[in-house]
Amino acid sequence: MDVVVHRDIRYAHAARFCPPEPCAAGERGQVAGIAPQNPSRLETVMGRPEVRPMSEDCLGLTITAPARPSPAGHPVLVWLHGGAYVTGSGSWSCYDASRLVAETGIVVVAVSHRLGVLGYMRAPGISQGNLGLRDQIAALEWVRENIAEFGGDPQVVTVAGQSAGAHAVVAMLSIPATRGLFRRVILHSAPLGLAYQAVADAERVGEVVLRHLAVPIGQASVEEILRAQGAAASELAASGVPFAPPFLPIAGVDPWPSEGAAEPWDGVGDLDVMLGNTTDEFAAFLGRRTGPEFIDGFFDSATTRFADKLAVAGARVFRFRVGELDPGAPLGACHCIDLPLLFGDEAAWRNAPMLSPPGAAAAIQLGTSMRADWAAFARSGVPESERWSVHRPGQAAFAQLP
C-alpha cells in the first residue's frame, strides 16, 4: 500500500510558558523544529537520533496515511513518544510509521510537544506547569477536528504512548476534558510505579532551575535554559530528592482536576486498553544487574494493579510482554526494545546498540505480527492473533511478543 507523509504540521501556537492556543480554522502552517532538549541518556541503547533544528515553535505533528482514502475513513493511532519528559520528538525517524501504515492501512499521527523546563517547570508568577501535557491534549483536539482531511476517522482514535508517553496517557485518564478524544489506549512500558508530581515538589524543582540562571528566565536563551535544566537535574539527583525525573505532570495543576493519585474518570469503562512491558526494562539504564523485585515494583506489579482497576471499571483490557529478540542481545528485552517492532525503517535502527544482535532488519521482520495486532486493535478494540485473551482481575495472562 502506498503512503503519504505530512511532516511538521502545526496543531497549536504557544508563547514561552503560555498554554497552547488552537490554530485558526483551515490553518496549515509548519513548525520550526523539535522541542529544545539536551542529549538523551538512551542514546547508548537506541542510538543517536538524527540532528534536527530545535525551536520553541515545536507543536507539530507527523501524519502518515494511506495514499488512497477510504470512504469511511481509516482508524487513527496517535503516538506520544517517550524520553522522561525531557527528550524526544514525534518527527524522529525511529518513529517513522511508513511500514506500519503500508502494511495495515491505519493513519498514524506522531506528536511533538514541549519538554523539560519549557514544558513542565512550575514557578509561581512564571509558569504553572503541565504545559507539555496540555500540548498533548491540544494535539488530540486537533486530530478530532482535522484528521478527516488526511483520511482518518475522528471517531476511531487510539492514543498510544511509550514510557513517558504512556505515563502521560495514564494522566489523561484522570482528566475529564479528554473524554471523547479517543476510544482506545495502548500503553508501552508505562512506569506506573512512578508517582506524578506534587505541587510543592514541582515548585522546589523550579526554584533549583531558576537558581542556575544568570538572567530572568523570560530573557534567557534556549541554550541558557537547557544548561540550567541540566545543572538542576544533576543537583537534584545528587541530593537524593525522592522524585525523578525532575519534570513530570503535576497533579492538581490545570488541566488536572485535583492533587493526589491518578484515578481514571468515570467513563473509562467504555475504553479498550492494551498495556504491557518488556522483560528487562531497567537494563537500558542500569545494565542487566537489576533484580526482578525492582523491575516488578516499578513496572510489572504496578501494571497488573492498573489493569485490574481498568477491568473492574468495565474496560476491555489486554496485556502483553515483550521478550528477547535474540539470545545474544546485550541488553536483553530492555526498555525501548519494542519500538523497532512497531516503527522505523532499517536505517533508523541500524546503529541501535540494543539490536546488536539481532540487527535492525531482523527486528523489523519480527514485528510483522505485532504491527498487525496493533492495527486490528485500533480498528476494533481486539488484537488480531489468537495469543491474546481479555484480562481478568487477579489473572496474570498476557500475550508474549514478538
Among all residues, which ones are annotated catalytic?
A: 163, 281, 335
Give, rounded to a whole angstrom, the gap between the first and last alpha carbons of the chain: 23
Q: Which whole-number Å values give the CA distances from 308 to 159, 182, 322, in the listed order?
A: 20, 21, 20
Residues near 204 by beta carbon (within 8 Å), at least 6 away in sequence: 241
Q: How far apart are CA 78 and CA 36, in angstroms?
A: 22
Maximum C-alpha span of the chain: 59
Tally the C-alpha atoms within 13 A of residue 242's C-alpha that lie toward its C-beta: 4
Sign of the torsion angle spanned by Cα atoms 369, 375, 376, 382: positive
With beta carbons less than 8 A apart as the criterion, state whether 318 and 32 touch: no
Please name the amino acid found at residue 205: V
Please give the torsion angle defined by the CA atoms of residues 217, 221, 223 and 226, in that order, rounded to the nearest 10 degrees. 20
Alpha helices in 214-313 (DSSP H): 222-238, 283-286, 292-295, 301-312
φ, ψ of residue 26 in degrees (nearest 5): 85, -5
Dist CA 182 CA 107 (whole Å): 14
| Cα–Cα nearest to 124, from 15, 198, 196, 207 | 207
Residue bearing cell 506534587: 198
Q: 223: which residues sit within 8 A by CB, 6+ positions away? A: none
Q: Distance of CA 77 to CAs 112, 124, 181, 332, 375, Å?
A: 14, 36, 12, 28, 8
Is the distance from CB of 90 to CB of 63 less than 8 angstroms?
Answer: no
